Amino acid sequence: MDILYSLRVGVPGSGPNGQRFNLLEGTRKVARATTVDALGAVFATDLELTMAATTSRRLFVHAGVVGWRGRAIVLPGRSFSGKTTLVLALVRAGARYYSDDFALLDAGGRVHPYTREPSVRPHGSDTGVRVPLTALGGRVGRKPLPVGLVLISEYQPDAAWQPEPLSPGAGALALLAHTVAARTQPAIALTTLSAAVIQATVLQGPRGDAESVATTILSHIT
Amino acid sequence: MQDRGPIVPRARSSDLAFGHLPGELLVYDQRNHRAHCLNDTAARIWQHCDGQTAIPVVAEWLAAEWQAPVDDAFVWTGLDQLARAGLLEDTIGPGHALPPSRREFLRRAGVTAAGLALPLILTMVPGSTALAASCRGAGKPCSASAQCCSGLCSGGVCVGGGVAPLGGPSRRR
């Protein structure tokens, strides 16, 4: 057994502010809450990140991913960069949904589906709401795909879509910046990312409204 | 001043992880968690830094490999960037200044010989998603010549042609 999560429950009224439910990973304190349900999402996220940092079978990269014409479009980005919005716009434009959070790469550089329900933040909110996959109209990817396009872009209001091409190596660095296991498994990360970008187009530049650029983005894969 | 003999640069070999792409070399420095992308020119210069070979000989080797004239100044350009990236042992410190004659040569020659791409290193800084180039291409703003790939900053702008684009692969004509 490599990882053990524990739920420690204090007596009613114990804990700061009544937060008597404690989630631990080993001896590491992950979170505390007043109800078990409140720990559910935290547990899922923490487990996800722990897996991402420790597994050697797949490389987890914070990125949105869609499939188009047999290739993956990978959108690396941190939280609040507009990944989910762009992913959903690309799906509405005809692409297949693979993930709005992680690109899951195998040793050959192919992207596997990570089809957790996308999380959409209502305007002005920091909290996401899960959108059922069925709401995507069935356009969900099932097969691993080679990477066709790495798009390094963040939303900027009124930005003109004029991305600049980068080399595959620059694309690999950009993906590495969002790779969970970059520090713990750098050799695996570099090998995997090199395989991923070797035949990919890499573009960088700000984008405006997702719906208005989605079709243009898809046109980069012929 | 005592002559300490020719400089023989030595590439670092420890605490590094690698990724290989056609015309590019990815290097992860486990000491400071910075990652670098070397174009083909920078990678070739680095690979010849064996701690035993003087710079003029490295230039001769590269000239033979590329079938193009390569002089010490060209090699120095790469070594300077490699040192700044922390990829050399302490034979050459970061920011080692080019001898005036070599800097002058760069200015006169306009940077590259026979279409060779200048050595270029992109660096990813921990905690940042921005890529930083080891030198600035033609037309980019500058405050010192050492900032420019061409070795010449004029009027607050890097000048010089034949410079490899930011992030672009090196090309030989």
CB proximity list for A72: less than 8 A, separation 6 or greater: A65, A66, A98, A103, A110, A111, A145, A146, A147, A148, A149
pLDDT for residue A67 is more than 80: yes
Candidates B15, B20, B24: best to mutate against A (most CBs of A within 10 A) is B24
Per-residue pLDDT, A218: 95
What mean pLDDT is predicted for residues A167-192? 93
Per-residue pLDDT tens listing for chain B (173 residues) = 445 567 889 999 999 999 999 999 999 999 999 999 999 999 999 999 999 999 999 999 999 988 888 889 899 999 999 999 999 996 554 444 444 455 554 544 434 545 678 888 999 876 665 566 666 666 667 766 656 666 666 767 666 543 322 333 333 32
Residues of B with CB under 8 A from a CB of A: 17-26, 28, 30, 33, 35-37, 39, 122, 124, 128-129, 131, 166-169
Indicate the residue of A152, A168, A204 with minimum beta-carbon distance to B21.
A168
Per-residue pLDDT, A10: 85
Angle, CA B129 vertex, CA A125 and CA A130 arms, to 5° = 30
Q: Do A165 and B28 touch (CB under 8 A)?
A: no
Per-residue pLDDT, A36: 83
Q: Is the pTM of this model over 0.80?
A: no
What are the φ and ψ backbone dihedral angles of A152, each rounded to 5 degrees?
-100, 100
Per-residue pLDDT, B172: 31
- Any idea which of A78-82, A125-129, B119-123 has the lowest mean pLDDT? A125-129
Q: Do B21 and A172 touch (CB under 8 A)?
A: yes
List the single residue in B with minimal CA-CA distance to A205.
Answer: B130
Q: Fill in the amino acid letter for B28.
A: Y
Rounded to whole angstroms, the Cα distance separating A100 from B91 reads: 47
List chain A residues with CB under 8 Å of B166: 166
Cα–Cα distance list, A39 to A5, A31, A46, A183 (Å): 12, 7, 10, 28
Q: Do A176 and B35 touch (CB under 8 A)?
A: yes
Nearest to B115 by CA among B63, B149, B68: B68
Rounded to whole angstroms, the Cα distance separating B86 from B93 reads: 9
Indicate the residue of A167, A170, A191 with minimum beta-carbon distance to B19.
A191
ipTM > 0.95 (yes/no):
no
List the single residue in B with minimal CA-CA distance to A168.
Answer: B21
User: CA A128 from chain center: how many Å?
Assistant: 14
Q: Do A169 and B21 touch (CB under 8 A)?
A: yes
Q: What is the pLDDT of residues A1-50, one digit of tens each?
A: 778 899 988 888 777 777 788 888 888 888 888 888 878 878 887 887 77
Q: What is the pLDDT of residues B42-88, one digit of tens each?
A: 999 999 999 999 999 999 999 998 888 888 989 999 999 999 999 99
List chain A residues with CB under 8 Å of B124: 173-174, 176-177
Q: What is the pLDDT of residues A85-121, one digit of tens each?
A: 999 999 999 999 999 889 999 999 999 999 777 766 6
Indicate the residue of A173, A183, A194 with minimum beta-carbon distance to B122.
A173
Q: Name the pLDDT band for A125 (thresholds 50, 70, 90).
A: low
Per-residue pLDDT, A158: 86
List the single residue in A with minimal CA-CA distance to B25.
Answer: A169
What mean pLDDT is predicted for residues A63-82? 91
pLDDT for residue A126 is more than 80: no
Indicate the residue of A168, A177, A187 with minimum beta-carbon distance to B24.
A168
Indicate the residue of A166, A172, A183 with minimum beta-carbon distance to B26.
A172
User: Tokens 């672009």 appear where?
Assistant: B168
What mean pLDDT is predicted for residues A140-147? 95
Indicate the residue of B19, B39, B166 with minimum beta-carbon distance to A172.
B19
List chain A residues with CB under 8 Å of B18: 187, 190
List chain A residues with CB under 8 Å of B37: 167, 169-170, 172-173
